[in-house]
Amino acid sequence: MDYFANLEKYLHAHDHFIISTHESPDPDGLGAEIGFKEILLHLGKHAIIINSDPTPTKFNFIDPDNEIIIFDEKMIIDNISNYTIFVLDTNDFNNIGKAYHYLNNIIKDVFIIDHHEGANNKLETNYIKVEASSTSEIICTIMERYNIKPSFKAAQALYAGIVFDTGCFKYPKTSSHTFTIAAQLISSGIKPYEVYQWIYENNTLEVFRLRALMLSSMEVHFGGKLILMELTPEMIKATNAPFSEGEVNINLPLSINGVVASILVKQDVGGPVKVSMRTKGDIDVAVIAIANGGGGHKNAAGFKSPHNFETTKQKILQEMSAFFK
Ligand SMILES: [Mn+2]
């Protein structure tokens, strides 16, 4: 697969680009956007970043110049019909959130840069490298191909994306290439400890209280191998913490000896019921996610459920039981 040739073709065909990422943006999506915008400007292109959801406050350091535009139904973009879109860190244009319906009506062409599994029909024409640790890592590779040295701002944003998506260089897709790229980013003067503190030691009391509620919802299944937690609209209302801050707690149960699967059934206030799955070893939850219309990787995947909260819980436990026979 010549990802780079696909990208070159798209870049030659267009000049005005909107960059976007998935709803509830995380440091990988945000960092990749900041880094990729720098590439497009360097190539003499016109580029703006539009996200459906605001950047979580604690990740504002990734966008110090406030260049990310938050989608608004009434927004006016001059010559919008000239634009095509780059979708980053999700392989489904539909996942960009509220802006999707608006942009889908206007935008002629879409190009995906991503590292999630589950889009085999899009591999031929996009830049989807599932072995990459993060979309930020892919953006660094593209920068290298164009001989672009990232600014301090872009280096910090991309480093944050890699740190976040690799869980501080420990998840399975962390490779020697990931470390090489990280070393290059650090050589532009960024401080790894600062980035670590901003991402991981920057919790509010509200977020800590939400974590407590989620941990107390814990159910142990299949002889201690699977843990299921809930993140409910009631918990969000009770703590006033952002939904996205609760979502990351899915990783906590995997730190328990013997636990190989962590399931989070979650729902934001007024939002759909969703299921997130994290596993260790050969438990391939991408299969379950794809069968339910979602996506992800072997050990990290998710989907939106058409059912209510309780039914969703029962159904996912039943589907997971196949791994514990
Ligand atoms: Mn990512």
CATH number at residue 181: 3.90.1640.10
**How far does residue 135's CA lie from ligand 1's centre (Å)?**
5
Are residues 49 and 153 part of one domain?
yes
Which one of 142, 172, 200 terminates a domain? 200
Same domain, 227 and 190: no
Domain extent, residue 212, equals: 205-324
Does the pLDDT at position 277 exceed 90?
yes
Positive or negative torsion for Cα 223, 224, 226, 230:
positive
Q: How far is the CA of 311 from the centre of ligand 1 (A)?
A: 29
pLDDT at 98 over 80: yes
Mean pLDDT, all residues of the chain = 96
For 147-196, the pLDDT digits (tens) are 999 999 999 999 999 999 999 999 989 999 999 999 999 999 999 999 99
Within this chain, do residues 194 and 224 fall inside the same structural domain, yes or no? no
Residue 23 three-state SS: coil
Residues 308 and 214 occupy one common structural domain: yes
Q: How far is the CA of 172 from the centre of ligand 1 (A)?
A: 13
Q: What's the gap in Å between 165 CA and the centre of ligand 1?
A: 6
pLDDT at residue 253, as a whole number = 97
CA of 81 to the centre of ligand 1 (A): 29
How far apart are the CA of 201 and the centre of ligand 1, in A? 21
Same domain, 128 and 249: no
pTM of the full predicted structure?
0.82
DSSP label at 117? B
Which of 42-46, 59-63, 115-119, 253-257 is the least confident region? Answer: 115-119
Distance 166 CA to ligand 1 centre (A): 9
**Is the same domain home to 209 and 240?**
yes
Between the CA of 141 and the centroid of ligand 1 the distance, in Å, is: 15
Position 163 scores a pLDDT of 98
pLDDT at residue 119 is higher than 90:
no
- pLDDT band for 46, please (50, 70, 90 cuts): very high
Residue 19 and residue 156 share a domain: yes
- What is the Å distance from ligand 1's center to 229 Cα? 23
Specify whether 269 is located in the same domain as 183. no
The residues with which 199 forms a beta bridge, in sequence order, are none
* CA nearest to 51, candidates 95, 89, 94, 99: 99
Cα–Cα distance, 68 to 54 (Å, whole number): 9
Distance 130 CA to ligand 1 centre (A): 10
Q: Which pLDDT does position 2 carry in this prediction?
A: 92
The average pLDDT across 192-220 equals 96
What is the Å distance from ligand 1's center to 134 Cα?
5
Question: Each residue of 17-37: pLDDT tens digit?
Answer: 999 999 989 999 999 999 999
pLDDT at 1: 76
Pick the closest to residue 276 from 305, 256, 255 (CA basis): 305
In this prediction, residue 109 carries a pLDDT of 96
CATH code for the domain of 212: 3.10.310.30
Residue 137: pLDDT above 90? Answer: yes
Q: What is the pLDDT of residue 73?
A: 87
- Domain endpoint, select from 174, 200, 226: 200
121 CA distance to ligand 1 middle (Å): 19
Is the predicted pLDDT of residue 296 greater than 90, yes or no?
no
Q: What percentage of the chain exceeds 70 in pLDDT?
A: 100
Q: CB within 8 A of 13, min separation 6: which ones?
A: 84, 109
Is residue 175 domain-shared with residue 211, that is, in the same domain?
no
pLDDT over 90 (residue 203): no
Q: By percentage, how much of the chain surpasses pLDDT 90?
A: 91
Q: Do both 176 and 225 map to the same domain?
A: no
Domain tally, the chain: 2
